[in-house]
Amino acid sequence: MPLSPCLRPVTPGDDGFLFTLYVSTRARELAAWGLPPAQAELFLRMQYQAQARHYASAYPPEGHAIIEVEGVPVGRQWIARTSAELLLVDVALLPKHQGRGLGTHLLRELQAEAARARVPMRLNVTRDNPALRLYTRHGFTPAPGRDPASPYLELQWRAPGNDPGTGVG
């Protein structure tokens, strides 16, 4: 049984951890490029800062949380909650904490929240992201009308009985 993750608000002191986490999400891609270490770090810092600025300007900060296990940061989650949907903006775990059930635990909690609020849950994921299997296992399906050539999939989930097409909900 995996240890239960706890969420806490992000603070300015978390920036170093968040950068390390970001780097871990790009390691496979960067290795394929073969950039020299100094150039890779510069590229990653620019990309991290661009993502941080974009998320901060587009999504409410109260949805940004550090995922901890036994008081140690192991990941981050950013959720945008509206009256129409629950959007999973970003979730990431350090590689050594992946595959231990933490993602499943977090996803189930978010699905339960969406079901209680009677709203769909939505997220975007790259087609080659291993987390796509997790989302599919938990009932996420491709949103209609997406560009099949896009490297991203928009996925959605609705609680059973909460589908607008059924008249129930």
* 69-88 pLDDT tens trace: 999 999 999 999 999 999 99
Question: What percent of the chain is modeled with pLDDT above 90?
Answer: 75
Structure tokens at 91: 């979730």
In this prediction, residue 46 carries a pLDDT of 96
Cβ neighbors of 79 (< 8 A, separation 6 or more) are 63, 65, 86, 87, 88, 89, 110
Q: Are 120 and 143 in contact (CB under 8 A)?
A: no
pTM over 0.85: yes
Q: What is the mean pLDDT of residues 111-128?
A: 95
Q: pLDDT band at 149, cuts 50/70/90?
A: confident
CA 13, CA 17: separation in Å to the nearest integer? 8
Rg (CA), the chain: 17
The domains found in the chain, sorted by start residue, are 6-166 (3.40.630.30)
In angstroms, rounded to a whole number, what is the distance separating the alpha carbons of residues 77 and 5? 11
Q: List Cα–Cα distances, 70 to 1, 3, 73, 74, 91, in angstroms.
A: 14, 8, 9, 10, 19
Say which DSSP state 156 is in: E
Distance from chain centroid for Cα 91: 2
Q: What is the pLDDT of residues 5-40, one digit of tens each?
A: 999 999 999 999 999 999 999 988 888 888 888 999
